[in-house]
Amino acid sequence: MDLKLKNNTNLILPRYIPVEYIETSGNVAIDTGVSISSSTNYTIETTLEILSNTNKIGRIYGTIYNNTIWYMGLFASASSSTDCVARSILNARRTSDINISLDGKTDIVHTNSYIKVNNTTYDFTGNNGTPNTYNLRLFYQHNTNYGIVTGKIWKFKVKISDNVVVDYVPCLSTELNHFGEPALYDKVSSSYKYPTSTGSFSAPSIINFYDTITSAYIKDCPNIDGIDLLRRAINLNRIRCNINSSTGHTAEIYKYAQLSGFNDAGEQQTKPRIVGTFNIDDYYTDAEVAEIRSKIDGITVTTPTASDYNVDTLLENDDLAIQTLDSTKPNYNPAAAIRLYTNGYGHTVASSHLLNGEGRFFITKDEVATITSLSKNIFGGIASAVDSNKIVSNDDTEEYLFTSFDEFKYFIGMRSIPNGASSTSPRNIFAGCSNLQSITLPEGVTTIGTYAFFRLNNLSILTLPSTITQIQDYNFSSSGYTPNLHTVYFNGTLNQWMGFTRASSGNMANPCTCGADLYIQGELLENLVIPEGITSIKTICFANVRSLKSVIIPNSVTSIGASAFHGCSGLTTVVVLATTPPTLGANAFSNNASGRVFYVPYSADHSVLAAYKAATNWSSFESVIYELNEDGTITE
């Protein structure tokens, strides 16, 4: 719609805004104002539908009502015309009862002598007391005994002697006191029909007045707020208005700079004419401000006095944590930027690149430091990120691998990291987050690189994904790394926990190294039963799991790695079911609970017990190795 206002002239709107159909709810009665007698030659053309509830079907009925008026219409009925949930009734004379099942959208032609439903004609005979004269109504009704049923109206037209007397069009109203409301517009009388007080209309799409404006020429109209019009008319492409002194973001005024306009005489011109002052209140670049000033006719642009808002200065002084402005800088990280922007963090600057449909993303170190939590899936499940919002380039299909996130070191205000990405964690990913207390590594992470948890002195809770396959060295230690890490959650199975690789150099690859309670799929690991079929227990596999109280090792295990259960301070009972002692690595059961004992299989000649007491490294536990009872039980 073209909007032209000058010297406070009146606004002229289109008669109506058509929609595909109107949907009714509740009791809706539309009186057409058309009077029909027994001799009237009429035709009703309509397309209707009943949306009935469970066990109700759409039907057309013709039946006598009070022995005087014939009702013909659409019903949603359980069994008969008197058992109806909803009716779309044409108060028109009929000559015999009919009962026609309907299915969805229905085209109906209704005349003096027949009714045609989806091109199938049904003739009528007889009279049966049709009244002489009555009004024609379109009527949807619901019966609360059977539940509310809605209906749809695509069209409703009435002809008398081939003259159209009613022609209802489903639409949205343009009457100022009903603008955007669903209605029926009668093209014959140029009037609207709204639902009765007991019913309502809805439409497939609802729009408002401002959405219809595509161009606007406003001059010498002091009561018209130009900046309000610009902000609300989202489909505007040509403008001339006054904004007085207004304040907003850079991206906003840059968007208006892309419009065309009118000069003061109302003639079209390339530039938009926006007369007044626009005060930028957020980040900007020197290039974009210069471009805005050159592309908008009549505008004065001011910028914040603080240099902190000049992105060129921030970039030059290395005050940005993550950015896509300059690919030569170490904090250039497109994949992280895409995910942060998508989840509502950071900024985009218009810059000259917006001429190609691009933005540019950045977030400052100071801003990152104030973030205390991130949305649950901000990096959730991603191995890469697609630049659908064009904050990196003008190609909205470009995909960037999420291979590193070193910039996380600036998130010093974080307390917890929800689960998220599917990429491998890079070196130093969490380094320097000195206030971090809880970390949940994303599902999809396969490797924790060296120094990933360096200097996380307050880290107390760590959740590992089921996808982990390797933990490298220099990650967990009571000195300079994770001294307070005392709770570890693992989202995978026990077999997966036992299967991933820990660096062979020592406990710095063990998440439980500082003495931690271990939860496997949410359950605290206290009484461990190694699954049958496992052949080896890896080095430091359960080292320092302080929650562990007992272990049963099946006959299939042939080797137990060094320090496998070292430091399990609560471990009191170990049952080994192999008749041949598994190879036992150094310190496999050192520093367990005081009084910890071992039980091995019973043999009549006690040879199994003897073998364990003599075996390498088992022999150091000779005094606390006992036989199980013959039935496999333990006698304390």
Q: Determine the pLDDT at residue 437.
A: 79
**Which amino acid does the sequence have at 149?**
V
Mean pLDDT score of the chain:
80
Q: Determine the pLDDT at residue 67.
A: 38
Out of 82-86, 164-168, 232-236, 347-351, give the one with best mean pLDDT.
Answer: 164-168
> Would you say residue 93 lies in a domain?
yes
Q: Which single residue is written with the structure tokens 């009555």?
A: 134
Report whether 387 contacts 400 (CB < 8 A).
yes
Q: Determine the pLDDT at residue 2.
A: 67
Give the separation between CA 126 and CA 254, rounded to whole angstroms.
74
Element (H, E) at 104: none
Are 112 and 242 members of one domain?
Answer: no
> Would you say residue 558 lies in a domain?
yes
Are 138 and 181 members of one domain?
Answer: yes
> What's the whole-number mean pLDDT along residues 512-534?
95
> Would you say residue 379 lies in a domain?
no
3-state secondary structure of 481: coil
3-state secondary structure of 139: strand
Per-residue pLDDT tens over the stretch 566-585: 999 999 999 999 999 999 99
Give the separation between CA 578 and CA 36, rounded to whole angstroms.
99
Per-residue pLDDT tens over the stretch 479-508: 767 788 999 999 999 999 999 888 755 557
Give the separation between CA 136 and CA 35, rounded to whole angstroms.
6
Element (H, E) at 484: none
Torsion of CA 614, 620, 622, 624, to 10 degrees: -150
> What's the whole-number mean pLDDT along residues 91-96?
43
Are 279 and 180 members of one domain?
Answer: no
Q: Determine the pLDDT at residue 86.
A: 35
Q: Determine the pLDDT at residue 320.
A: 94
3-state secondary structure of 17: strand
Please indicate whether residue 148 or residue 532 has the higher confidence score (pLDDT).
Answer: 532
Give the separation between CA 299 and CA 227, rounded to whole angstroms.
12
Are 173 and 86 members of one domain?
Answer: yes
Are 265 and 171 members of one domain?
Answer: no
Lowest-confidence range among 28-42, 142-156, 248-262?
A: 142-156
Q: Determine the pLDDT at residue 8.
A: 54
Give the relative orientation of helices 286-295 and 250-257 as an angle to the nearest 10 degrees.
Answer: 40
> Would you say residue 110 lies in a domain?
yes
What tokens does 614 get? 């003599």
> Would you say residue 46 lies in a domain?
yes
In angstroms and rounded to an integer, the radius of gyration of the C-alpha atoms of the chain is 39
Q: Determine the pLDDT at residue 43.
A: 87
Lowest-confidence range among 340-349, 363-372, 489-498, 502-511?
A: 502-511
Are 162 and 249 members of one domain?
Answer: no
Please give the DSSP secondary-structure letter assigned to residue 629.
P
Give the separation between CA 498 and CA 490, rounded to whole angstroms.
11
> What's the whole-number mean pLDDT along residues 259-270?
95
Domain of 93? 16-202
> Would you say residue 367 lies in a domain?
no
Question: How many alpha carbons lie under 13 Å from residue 418 in its C-beta half-sphere?
Answer: 11
What domain count does the chain have? 3
Are 236 and 114 members of one domain?
Answer: no
Name the strands in the sheet holding 28-37, side by side, starting at the edge strand that comes first in the sequence. Answer: 28-37, 133-142, 84-90, 69-77, 57-65, 98-101
> What's the whole-number mean pLDDT along residues 212-226?
84
CATH number at residue 124: 2.60.120
Out of 301-310, 484-493, 504-513, give the one with best mean pLDDT.
Answer: 484-493
84: pLDDT strictly greater than 90: no
Domain end point (choices 294, 309, 324) = 309
> Would you say residue 376 lies in a domain?
no
Q: Give the number of residues written for the chain.
A: 636
Burial zone of 87 (CB within 10 Å; 0-12 exposed, 13-18 middle, 19+ buried): buried
> What's the whole-number mean pLDDT along residues 99-122?
75
> What's the whole-number mean pLDDT along residues 140-168?
76
Are 540 and 635 members of one domain?
Answer: yes
Report whether 31 contacts 22 (CB < 8 A).
no
**Which amino acid does the sequence have at 141?**
Q
> Would you say residue 317 lies in a domain?
no
Lowest-confidence range among 6-10, 316-320, 478-482, 608-612?
A: 6-10
Other C-beta atoms lying within 10 Å of the C-beta of residue 315? 17
Q: Determine the pLDDT at residue 474.
A: 77
CA distances from 46 to 90, 185, 200, 206, 489 (A): 10, 14, 20, 23, 65
Q: Determine the pLDDT at residue 432.
A: 59
Are 192 and 234 members of one domain?
Answer: no
Lowest-confidence range among 70-74, 178-182, 249-253, 502-506?
A: 70-74
Are 165 and 220 members of one domain?
Answer: no
How would residue 533 be classed by pLDDT, with cut points 50, 70 and 90? very high
Per-residue pLDDT tens over the stretch 589-609: 999 999 999 999 999 999 999
**Which amino acid does the sequence have at 178?**
H
Q: Determine the pLDDT at residue 56.
A: 45
**Alpha carbon 635 to chain centroid distance?**
58
Long-range CB contacts (within 8 A, 24+) of 625-632: 625/597, 625/598, 625/599, 625/600, 626/597, 626/598, 626/599, 626/600, 627/599, 627/600, 627/601, 627/602, 627/603, 628/575, 628/599, 628/600, 628/601, 628/602, 629/602, 630/602, 632/602
Domain end point (choices 309, 337, 369) = 309
Are 559 and 612 members of one domain?
Answer: yes
Domain end point (choices 260, 280, 309) = 309
CA distances from 621 to 445, 578, 583 (A): 40, 17, 14
How would residue 128 be classed by pLDDT, with cut points 50, 70 and 90? very low
What is the residue-wise DSSP string for 36-102? EETT--EEEEEEEEEE--TT-EEEEEEEEETTTEEEEEEEEESSSTTSEEEEEEE----SS-EEEE-
Please give the DSSP secondary-structure letter assigned to residue 137.
E
Are 59 and 185 members of one domain?
Answer: yes
How would residue 557 be classed by pLDDT, with cut points 50, 70 and 90? very high
CA distances from 362 to 220, 312, 433 (A): 41, 11, 20
Q: Determine the pLDDT at residue 70.
A: 39
Give the separation between CA 392 and CA 268, rounded to whole angstroms.
34
Lowest-confidence range among 62-71, 273-282, 346-355, 477-486?
A: 62-71
Per-residue pLDDT tens over the stretch 428-459: 556 555 666 777 776 777 877 777 776 777 88
How would residue 292 be classed by pLDDT, with cut points 50, 70 and 90? very high
Report whether 314 contacts 364 (CB < 8 A).
yes
421: pLDDT strictly greater than 60: no
CATH number at residue 632: 3.80.10.10
Please indicate whether residue 503 or residue 9 has the higher confidence score (pLDDT).
Answer: 503
3-state secondary structure of 293: helix
How would residue 209 be classed by pLDDT, with cut points 50, 70 and 90? low
What tokens does 118 get? 């989806």
Per-residue pLDDT tens over the stretch 397-406: 999 977 667 6
Report whether 164 contacts 44 (CB < 8 A).
no
